[in-house]
Amino acid sequence: MFKPRYLALFCALASTSVLASEGTALLRQPDISAEALTFVYGGDIWISDKNGQNPRQLTSHPASEFAPKFSPDGKWIAFSASYDNNTDVYLMPASGGAATRLTFHPGADTVNGWSPDGNSVIFASNREIANSRSNQLYTVPVTGGFEHKLMEAVAFEGDLHADGKKLVYRPNNMAYSGPSGWRLHRGGSTPPVWIIDLEKQQLEKIPHPNANEFSPFWLGDNVYFLSDRDNTAVNLFRYSEKKVEQLTKNTDWDLRSAAGYNNQIVYEAGGFLHSYDISSGQSTPIPVHIQSQSVQKRPQWKDASKTLTNARLSATGQRVVISARGDVFTVPVKDGSTRNLTQSSGIREFDGLWSPDGRFVAFISDVTNKHHLVLQAQDGLSKAESFVLSDTGYFNLLSFSPDGKLIAYHDNHLNLYVFDLNTKSSRKVDNSERRTEFKVSFSPDSRYLAYTVSAANYFSQIKLFDFQNNKSTLITDGMSQTDDPVFTQDYLYFTASVNTGPAQVGLDLSTRERPVRKALYAYVLSAEGKSPLLAKTGDEPLKSTEKDDTKDKKDDKAVKAVRIDLDSLQNRIVALPLPERNYDSLGVASDGALFYLERPQAGASNELPGSNGQNNGTLYRFDFEEKKSASIKEGLAGYNLSNDGKKLLLISMPNSLQVADAKEKLDAKAVNLADVRSFVDPQQEWQQIFNDAWRMQKDYFYDAKLHGVDWQAVYAKYQPLLKDVQRREDLNELLVEMIAELQVGHNRIGGGDVHQETPSKAGLLGADFVINDGKYQFKTVFEGDRWSPFLKAPLNVPGASAKAGDYLLAINGRELTEQQNIYAFLDNTLGKQVVLTIADNASGKNSRSITVEPVANESQLRLWHWVEKNRQLVEKQSDGKIAYVYLPNTAEGGFYFFNRMFFAQTDKAAVIIDERKNGGGQAANYITEILGRPFLSGWKDRDGLVFTTPGAGIYGPKTMLIDQDAGSGGDFLPWAFKRLGLGKTIGTRTWGGLIGISTNPDMIDGGFHVVPFFRFYTPDGEWRVENEGVAADIEVELDPVAVNKGRDVQLERAIAHTLAELKANPPEDHRQAPAMPTQLGK
């Protein structure tokens, strides 16, 4: 159970003792010179004396500034900053002053250090990466100009020796980085530290266990780096005379970054700075006391509509109740003002529901760190009633009963409840066997609740709960997927599908692009009821001759009892005369018309980039009198009806709301959200986010015991650091460290109300350059992919093209030489025409001008260039016998690439599947099933080639390339490939993350939080792959020396292995049919 009072006391004691003596916390990325210390605090660069005294702020921009590095003489500081939504390299005097921008590429450029002579800054960038999660290292002169790449091989970070020839570096990224919290990762993404002589192209590998090693730097001829090889925490190590020595012995906090000068090393651990004296081998704290407050930390008004999570109409559609930014608002459709019913920064209120009589609004509040049901008068002026739902768990409100006495809601543990407002108590209605979205509908008399559950066969089924006899009844037969129930007086409408089976388990890649066809049905509730589609006779209506003077006019408004005869209910199902399509969200208007959404079928089209897939619903209205349906509104994410059925709320994401009468012709009016604003005290909100993240791990993590971690102690360890959080970005860093204590994959947190810069719209030409004769020469021009209509190659347009070897002499008339940075000339060119002056040589031979349109990103151009180059290499070296298939992930992209590349090459005898850097997504059963299916038959055509069943296949040897960057679904695929005996894997151990994500809500300010809630196990009942990875059958590291020579040794080994297998085990040739029968009847 959460214990806030105890923790408040603990934090107070901690703050007045240890923490106070250590000074300000959350100081990051220290570096040291002969005279000073620089570090990052609150996203700004600071400098102080070496002992931490006299701290001064050098930068103050609200964008992130980070990675400060002193020049060798200590007079300058190079750093990275994300101004204009672009992370680039900047240079400023160590004494302070204006910063000079050195890089302009729209990719992220992160400062690593300096050249030994101090004339250039070293930075890491993935700008020219084809297929890796790592970077490459570059130098840029302090005077600006062309950026030189240190080598072609990947290097996530590195440092040059004083001789300028030897580079110590970390080749690959770690699993514990960015938003991913994963301490002591032991899968494949455990990078080593290597030393390469750039002049001699010789590699030295520092002895490396299965551990994470990073932040390497030189002091003299010795290498220092951080590592968690002691299996306890990240500590400082030294590599000297071919031996590795541990220097620090931290056990409670990881060392996060380190740097050195002469005999002193500074590092950060637990948010505080420390100094390590190399001579004595002793560490001492460097207390730094800072008194400042960032712009982000100031209480301020926020546009809450940007984080809208829920919107519903009031009883008669006069207002809309909106849940946004942890507050509950009521917004007028026409008259009145917007009201914030909650007005709280440190409490999250959400899921607003208006009572049927319009008197009050119900919502959920997490006050005291547990969920309460709150009832607040619609004007917000009286004291609210509050009821604790449970000490643990996350809840969501679903619906009021029409009489306003019951509220249906559910928790995150698959349970459905109702809260009785008369007895002020909850009742559990049912639970679902599988995770599902509960769809509910109360009968008009409030006696019955129709709701959906997910059964063992994965199909959604509809049940009825009778509140008079407290009994639940399953009313569907389990032979169809039934969903979206909605009551009327005489009918229960719903959707049903009988083709959804192959698409039920969304984790399977085989569910991709499978259409789901649903029909609309109605249960006739009473045994004496009639079909809503009953044919009309055309006879004159019979009129009564008697007048009933005793009838009370009030009876017209009396609630009629709903009669449900369960016997033979299955035989009283009526299908509406509509085609079977992808329907959901049924609702019945006051005139009896049925509203519903139709959505496009998966795979039916590939929309233009930038299309909002959430707003793919088209609203229809079925008229029972005409027995016809009409489309009345497109571009919707959802809709709902007022309680009286007379108004429609039309919802388009992210925050567009319209209200219209629920009629055939809509006259929709926009709901003004301008006053949906919250006054946010960031300190209170950040505490709520911290608490919420901690609670979500406790309530959603797949193992209720959290792998034995004392989660209360984890709270106590990290909560005291909140006082020094200056920005939402700082909070994310802190939360990543906290969730990392669980030591699992797919545990991530980030985003939220972080600072957002306006992009400068830098453009790119889709090319690489070298400098020859002082001018820019095209080294590579990316031609794009002729069969990808949305992939634009700016320099491969008929009539306006360039080729490798051409020179680029000017951009928009401005002369370009190696003294200028080409990307500075391309800044703010996205979406504009740019005139390039190109020529055959640096002197301007055959000079001509072409007009091009730069693109925002080159990554897909580079990737396809790499893929096609690999395919051509395999084709050439195998003499056309081996197919090459690349898989970027096991989701949409992987499905696309596999279908495109595999089936086009099924005339080949063998195949290499390249899943290096596979980003995962789904379990790729579709791919393994295609790869593993046997040849069943051939079919002889009189004139054409024979065809087969299966229609296409490769039946010879199969080889899979894997590496440390392939993970999640990219772990499962090679595991399944090996399990099924499909072939050998070549490369390095995969990432090792097979705990799945995620079902928890976002944070109060829209930040994401991914909590793993399910985990893989083998058919043998073993927990495998997670934090282990899939080892290669044939281990081949990507040799950097070979890469620098333009070779891919992993692919070369795969080709050689597959050819050898093909020679030893050639597949049977089924292309030739047997001799034609000669005997009649045979």
Q: What mean pLDDT is reported for the chain?
A: 95
- The more confident residue out of 1082 and 691 is 691
Q: What are phi and psi of 441, to 5 degrees?
A: -155, 125
Q: What are phi and psi of 772, to 5 degrees?
A: -135, 130
Q: Please state, in angstroms and rounded to a whole number, the distance separating the CA atoms of residues 21 and 288.
A: 9
- 11, pLDDT greater than 70: no
Cβ atoms of 941 and 990 within 8 Å: the answer is no
- The confidence score (pLDDT) of residue 204 equals 98
- The number of beta carbons lying within 10 Å of the beta carbon of residue 158 is 25
337-392 confidence digits (pLDDT tens): 999 999 999 999 999 999 999 999 999 999 999 999 999 999 999 999 999 999 99
Q: Please state, in angstroms and rounded to a whole number, the distance separating the CA atoms of residues 1030 and 1024.
A: 9
Q: Please state, in angstroms and rounded to a whole number, the distance separating the CA atoms of residues 982 and 493.
A: 48
Give the pLDDT mean for 931-953: 94
Give the pLDDT mean for 164-171: 98
Helices (H), 188-336: none
Helices (H), 366-501: none
Query: With bands split at pLDDT 50, 70 and 90, how would you rate the model's confidence at 22?
Result: confident
Give the pLDDT mean for 35-46: 98
687 SS3 class: helix
Closest by CA to 763, choosing from 862, 858, 839, is 858
**Which strands, in side-by-side order, build the sheet including 319-324?**
308-313, 319-324, 327-332, 339-340
Cβ atoms of 816 and 809 within 8 Å: the answer is yes
Per the structure block, which two tokens stand in for 843?
A: 């002197």
Which helix (H) or strand (E) element contains residue 693? helix 682-700
- The confidence score (pLDDT) of residue 94 equals 98
Give the pLDDT mean for 466-479: 97
DSSP letter at 764 equals B
Q: Please state, in angstroms and rounded to a whole number, the distance separating the CA atoms of residues 1003 and 748.
A: 12
Per the structure block, which two tokens stand in for 820?
A: 């200028």
Q: What are phi and psi of 1056, to 5 degrees?
A: -65, -45
Query: With bands split at pLDDT 50, 70 and 90, how would you rate the model's confidence at 998?
Result: confident
- 479, pLDDT greater than 70: yes
Give the pLDDT mean for 159-182: 97
- 393, pLDDT greater than 80: yes
- The confidence score (pLDDT) of residue 544 equals 61
Per the structure block, which two tokens stand in for 291?
A: 């008194």
In terms of C-beta density within 10 A (0-12 exposed, 13-18 middle, 19 or more buried), how is residue 517 classed?
middle
DSSP 597-637: EE-PPTTS--PPTT--GGG-EEEEEEETTTTEEEEEEEEES
Give the pLDDT mean for 282-311: 96
- 308, pLDDT greater than 90: yes
Which helix (H) or strand (E) element contains residue 496? strand 491-497
396-407 core/surface letters (b: 16 or more CB in 10 A; e: else): bbbbbbbebbbb
- The confidence score (pLDDT) of residue 556 equals 56
- The confidence score (pLDDT) of residue 546 equals 56
- The confidence score (pLDDT) of residue 610 equals 83
Give the pLDDT mean for 21-44: 95
Percent of the chain with pLDDT over 70: 97
Q: Please state, in angstroms and rounded to a whole number, the distance separating the CA atoms of residues 572 and 523.
A: 6
Give the pLDDT mean for 471-485: 97
- 915, pLDDT greater than 50: yes
- 996, pLDDT greater than 60: yes
Q: For 783-920, list the strands marked E by DSSP.
A: 796-797, 800-801, 807-811, 814-815, 834-839, 848-852, 882-886, 910-914
Query: With bands split at pLDDT 50, 70 and 90, how would you rate the model's confidence at 10?
Result: very low
Per the structure block, which two tokens stand in for 635?
A: 């571009």
620-652 confidence digits (pLDDT tens): 999 999 999 999 999 999 999 999 999 999 999
649-683 core/surface letters (b: 16 or more CB in 10 A; e: else): bbbbeebbbbbbbbeeebeeeebebeebbbebebb
Which helix (H) or strand (E) element contains residue 1051? helix 1049-1064
Closest by CA to 89, choosing from 138, 56, 46, 159, is 138
Query: With bands split at pLDDT 50, 70 and 90, how would you rate the model's confidence at 21?
Result: low
Which helix (H) or strand (E) element contains residue 448? strand 448-454
Cβ atoms of 1030 and 974 within 8 Å: the answer is yes
Q: Please state, in angstroms and rounded to a whole number, the distance separating the CA atoms of residues 100 and 568.
A: 80
Which residues are paired to 815 by β-bridges? 810
870 SS3 class: helix
DSSP 110-179: EEEEE-TTSSEEEEEE-TT-SS-SS-EEEEEETT--PPEES-SS--SEEEE-TTSSEEEEE-S--SS-TT
The set of residues, in sequence order, having a beta carbon less than 8 Å from that of 361 and lying 6+ positions away, is 321, 328, 330, 341, 352, 353, 354, 355, 375, 376, 377, 378
DSSP 644-679: TS-EEEEEETTTEEEEEESSSS---EE---TT-EEE
- The number of beta carbons lying within 10 Å of the beta carbon of residue 1061 is 17
Q: Is the dihedral of CA 683, 686, 692, 697 positive or negative?
A: negative
Q: What are phi and psi of 938, to 5 degrees?
A: -115, 160
Q: What Cα–Cα distance (Å) separates residue 742 from each residue in 320, 503, 708?
A: 41, 33, 9
Query: With bands split at pLDDT 50, 70 and 90, how would you rate the model's confidence at 536?
Result: confident
Percent of the chain with pLDDT over 90: 94
Q: What Cα–Cα distance (Å) separates residue 1030 from each residue in 296, 909, 994?
A: 44, 26, 11
Which residues are paired to 158 by β-bridges? 169
- 555, pLDDT greater than 70: no
- 540, pLDDT greater than 90: no
Q: What are phi and psi of 307, to 5 degrees?
A: -120, 35
264 SS3 class: strand
Cis peptide bond upstream of 209, omega within 30:
no
The set of residues, in sequence order, having a beta carbon less than 8 Å from that of 705 and lying 6+ positions away, is none
- The confidence score (pLDDT) of residue 537 equals 77
* Identity of the residue numbered 145: G
- 682, pLDDT greater than 50: yes
Q: Please state, in angstroms and rounded to a whole number, the distance separating the CA atoms of residues 1032 and 978.
A: 10
Give the pLDDT mean for 553-560: 69
Query: With bands split at pLDDT 50, 70 and 90, how would you rate the model's confidence at 545?
Result: low
DSSP 281-314: TEEEEE-B------STTS-EEEEGGGGEEEEEE-
**pTM above threshold 0.85:** yes
- 1068, pLDDT greater than 80: yes
Give the pLDDT mean for 815-841: 97
Cβ atoms of 776 and 819 within 8 Å: the answer is no
- 516, pLDDT greater than 50: yes
* Identity of the residue numbered 787: W
1009-1049 confidence digits (pLDDT tens): 999 999 999 999 999 999 999 999 999 999 999 999 999 99
Interior angle at CA 984, CA 980 and CA 988, nearest 5: 115
Place of tokens 């003489």: 73
Cβ atoms of 755 and 64 within 8 Å: the answer is yes
- 269, pLDDT greater than 80: yes
In terms of C-beta density within 10 A (0-12 exposed, 13-18 middle, 19 or more buried), how is residue 349 classed?
buried
Cβ atoms of 946 and 1071 within 8 Å: the answer is yes
Closest by CA to 738, choosing from 686, 780, 788, 773, is 686
Cβ atoms of 617 and 585 within 8 Å: the answer is yes
112-149 confidence digits (pLDDT tens): 999 999 999 999 999 999 999 999 999 999 999 999 99
- The confidence score (pLDDT) of residue 548 equals 55
